[in-house]
Structure 1
Amino acid sequence: MKSEERHELKSNELEKLSARLQPIFDQYGMHIVLAISAAIAIGAAAMFWNRTSSAEKTAGWTELRAAVTARSAEKFLEVAEDETLSKKPVSAWAHLRAAERYLETGIQQSLENREGERGLVSDLDEARKNFDLALEAAPAKSNLQERALYGLGRCLETMAGVNQRTDAANSETADLLAEAVKAYEKLLSEYPDSAYNQKRYEEEELGNLERHRDFLKSEKASIFYAWFRTQNPKPEDRRSPLDGMPTDHPPFGSGPVTLPPIPEGLRLLDDDAEAGPEFPGTEQETPEGESSGTAPAPKPSAPVSKTPAETNNGDDEKKDGE
């Protein structure tokens, strides 16, 4: 079949198809145009939403990374409380990081200064609140939930060891320890292979977190935290370089140190009890104007060398003698 014939055949088929569709377009043409326009509009809106949502997510994580660099709980809260990022994963992570930062400062103050400028109670309360907010938004079986449960348990333990709280959690030490145990048990049930429950040795039956949970259930834990609540450490109580030394020990670098005499049983046979042993390469000091009683050893004299002229004269004398 020639090309002209094929072209004519295709043209006839298109004419037949157009003739069949013409009545449909005449009856539903406006509906078809509106449907196509709506599909184009929906596609454009979807593309715009995806790009906008992606930009918002990127902006949130960028701000969170900046807060991590600043190491400031307030910076984390700015991200967590941003309305444009609410109900997004980045907001939950920001609550978690803020809680961990507040807990870090709270633990430090509980050991060094419970009357600090920021306030120990305030930091621990903020830590607990943000751990709870992170858990509310955390997906099940997620790293966020695992980390928040562990942090909440540590926070409750720390609160059990301080003597003042201002919120509704101002309960007895045993109650707070029971809440900490509850958080740890949920972590262990949800994440049996958690990194927080690693074993020190393969032959051990319990992991680190399981042993710690059992300790918190014991009477020893209640006694310890009850005692710890009565403590009030201050910055001046921190260790100094002289810790562990006798109270009458002179400051380091204050002058020459006089050593005690060597006991009789430890002294060498020819040692002077007062002067101490005489080590090789050292000289005993003598008072000015007194002789040590021994003459200094004479210094060895250098070999005498002859000049070339003297050597020649000696050779001439030998020849004359011959």
Structure 2
Amino acid sequence: MKTQRRHELQTNTLADWLGHKIENVQPYSKAIVTVVLLACALGIAYMFISGRGIAEAGAAWKDFFGAVADRDVESLTEVHERHAGKEAGFWALQKVADEELGRGTRLLFRDREQANEALKVARKNYEAVKANAKRGSLLEQRSIFGLAQTLESMGELDDAKKQYKALASAAPESSLGKEAQQRLDSLENESTERFYAWFEKQEPKPPVAATGSNMPLDLPRDLTELSDRPDISAFPELSN
């Protein structure tokens, strides 16, 4: 009985305490409810925005990998424009710069004017990626290395050295950092400087197609007219 009585007293005491507290906060009940509802609304909004952001990021990466598989500069450019400000968008711009760098370096041996146009586009895109990439990220390293390669291809060796040096100093243990150091060492070599000085003076010309067709070789238009056997008329002893 004593135990039951003690339990009842404790229960009554707790009820009195709760009642007292409720009376104290009752004047502020509307404000409390408002705060609770606001917190719930913010939580729901955060979950919605987070979920939406994840979905948008997933769509951006899907578009990026699709364009990369096609190796199409136009598609990559569209991905960059469609997902402007997102990481996938900047990776797309990085790939556009890579493609233009590759095209420009190939054209250096055939058409300097077109080569320089491609290299200028590559340089502009690399600089844009570098300015927006997260500090220390792989994307930033790629953009710096690509920019250095572009400057080297354009014959701007001093600026190329600065970019290689910056990358080698910032990420000395990374594969790109080590490669940048090797390129820097090579450009510091006097023989390399002499080669670039000589190469800059060269004036390669685009290949000219043979007269009469758009093909390098003027082949017969109707291959069905070709004989099915060699011409041995010059060797009468063989024709008997």
* Partner residue of 2:170 out of 161, 176, 190: 190
> What residue is the counterpart of 1:178 in the other structure?
158
> What residue is the counterpart of 2:108 in the other structure?
110
Pairing 1:153-232 to 2, within 5 Å after superposition: 153-160=148-155, 176-196=156-176, 209-229=180-200, 230-232=202-204
**What SS is found at the alignment partner of 2:108?**
helix
1:90 corresponds to 2:61: no
* Partner residue of 1:144 out of 139, 144, 169: 139
Q: Is the 8 A contact 1:73 1:99 kept in 2?
A: no
Residues 102-146 of structure 1: CA distance to partner in whole angstroms, max 9, x if unpaired?
11111122234446xxx3222111100111111111222222222
Q: Is the 8 A contact 1:110 1:233 kept in 2?
A: no
Aligned residues: 212
1:177: Cα distance to partner? 0.9
> What residue is the counterpart of 2:53 in the other structure?
53
Q: Is the 8 A contact 2:112 2:204 kept in 1?
A: yes
* Partner residue of 2:99 out of 98, 101, 104: 101
1:89: Cα distance to partner? 2.3
TM-score normalised over the length of structure 1 = 0.57
> What residue is the counterpart of 2:64 in the other structure?
64
Q: 1:2 to 1:59 in 2, by over 3 A?
A: farther
Q: Is the 8 A contact 1:95 1:130 kept in 2?
A: yes
Give the distance between the partners of 1:185 and 1:155, measured in 2 at CA.
15
1:25: Cα distance to partner? 3.8
Q: 1:6 to 1:62 in 2, by over 3 A?
A: farther
> What residue is the counterpart of 1:122 in the other structure?
117
Q: 1:191 to 1:255 in 2, by over 3 A?
A: farther
Q: Is the 8 A contact 1:153 1:184 kept in 2?
A: yes
Q: 1:45 to 1:18 in 2, by over 3 A?
A: same
**Residue identity (%):** 32
Q: Which amino acid aligns with 1:62?
A: K
Q: Which amino acid aligns with 1:157?
A: E
Q: Is the 8 A contact 2:97 2:121 kept in 1?
A: yes
Q: 1:138 to 1:197 in 2, by over 3 A?
A: closer
> What residue is the counterpart of 1:167 in the other structure?
none
Q: Is the 8 A contact 2:171 2:177 kept in 1?
A: no
> What residue is the counterpart of 1:135 in the other structure?
130
Residues 191-241 of structure 1: CA distance to partner in whole angstroms, max 9, x if unpaired?
22232465xxxxxxxxx644532332344334322332323143469xx9x
Q: Which amino acid aligns with 1:110?
A: L
1:71: Cα distance to partner? 0.8
> What residue is the counterpart of 2:38 in the other structure?
38
Q: 1:2 to 1:111 in 2, by over 3 A?
A: farther
Q: Which amino acid aligns with 1:192?
A: P
1:99: Cα distance to partner? 0.8
The unaligned stretches of length 5 or more in structure 2 are 210-215, 217-229, 233-240
Q: Which has the larger radius of gyration?
A: 1
Q: 1:69 to 1:40 in 2, by over 3 A?
A: same
The unaligned stretches of length 5 or more in structure 1 are 161-175, 199-207, 241-253, 257-322
Q: Is the 8 A contact 2:94 2:126 kept in 1?
A: yes
Give the distance between the partners of 1:113 and 1:60, measured in 2 at CA.
36
Q: 1:13 to 1:221 in 2, by over 3 A?
A: same
Q: Is the 8 A contact 1:100 1:127 kept in 2?
A: yes
Supply the RMSD in Å over aligned alpha carbons: 3.2
